[in-house]
Amino acid sequence: MSSITCPSCHMAAPAGAIFCDNCGYDLRTVNAASPPLPPTQLVQDSGSAEIICPNCRHSNIVGSAFCENCGSQLTQITPPPVKPVQHPAPAPAAAPLPPVPPAPTPKVVPPTPPSEADTLVGEAPTAHPPAPVLESIPGRFVIQSLNISIPIPSGKQIVVIGREDPVSGVFPDIDLDLHGGHEAGVGRRHAQLVLQGGHVLLEDLDSVNGTVVNKVKLLPHKPQPVQHGDEVRFGKMLLIYMSK
């Protein structure tokens, strides 16, 4: 069935109608054979949809039956379904790495001292051997003027020096009477050698004519150390102490 459009309110009316049912406009002057309006257009813009009126080109909300501007009937157009946006599935989380074990602590090995076999021939030793512990007084006395060597008795730590006197019961370990000790003023118990703390000491026994070491007179009963090559005087008798 053909229809005409009201030029006032643009409402559709059946062909041959005299007045518009909507606004009362006189439709007798309207040509019933006027060309039909173009189809309604659906416009989509960034997620929203609108219907364009074919008569006045006004945008209307989807689902409107008539144009809100001119009243023309709008063809119902169902907007195409909106496809859901498919986001890519997240990648599976990587498995945690196993813990790294701590590095082992290096063992410090102390250096090994070189053996005798490793010592080079002719190389001087780095350490001197310890001096032997004296168990007795070593050495001898030398009378240089007479070229006489008087040995010190071995195995003793106290050696008495003087002149032998059987009447008084004096028998010293070293008898200087045989070498002119009486004439030189050597007493019967003139002096003594003492081994103390690994050192050889000479002690004057309160003699009448005294004891001198390297031209220094000793005080009675005050032991003083003597060393190899020292000059010793008992009274007027000169001797040299030789420890070797």
CA gap 211, 204 in Å, rounded: 6
CA angle, 216 then 220 then 226, to 5°: 50
Q: What is the mean pLDDT of residues 145-160?
A: 93
pLDDT at position 33, please?
47
User: SS3 for 172?
Assistant: coil
Q: What is the mean pLDDT of residues 75-79?
A: 63
| pLDDT tens string 216-236 | 999 999 999 999 999 999 999
The CATH classification of domain 140-242, taken from the options 2.40.50.140, 3.30.830.10, 2.60.200.20, 3.50.50.60: 2.60.200.20
What percent of the chain is modeled with pLDDT above 90? 42
| pLDDT tens string 188-216 | 999 999 999 889 999 999 999 999 999 99
Q: Which residue has the higher pLDDT, 18 or 33?
A: 18
| pLDDT tens string 96-111 | 777 777 777 777 767 7
Chain mean pLDDT for the chain = 81
Cα-flanking dihedrals φ and ψ of residue 193, to 5°?
Answer: -95, 135
pLDDT at position 86, please?
74
Domain segments of the chain as ranges: 1-36, 40-80, 140-242
CA angle, 104 then 110 then 114, to 5°: 145
Q: 40, 74 in Cβ contact below 8 A?
A: yes
Q: Is the pLDDT of residue 50 over 70?
A: yes
CA 214 vs CA 133, 219, 225, 239, 241: distances in Å: 26, 14, 11, 11, 11
Q: Is the pLDDT of residue 17 over 80?
A: no
CA gap 237, 163 in Å, rounded: 12
CA gap 48, 30 in Å, rounded: 37
Q: 61, 53 in Cβ contact below 8 A?
A: no
CA 54 vs CA 29, 66, 241: distances in Å: 22, 11, 149
pTM of the complete model: 0.47
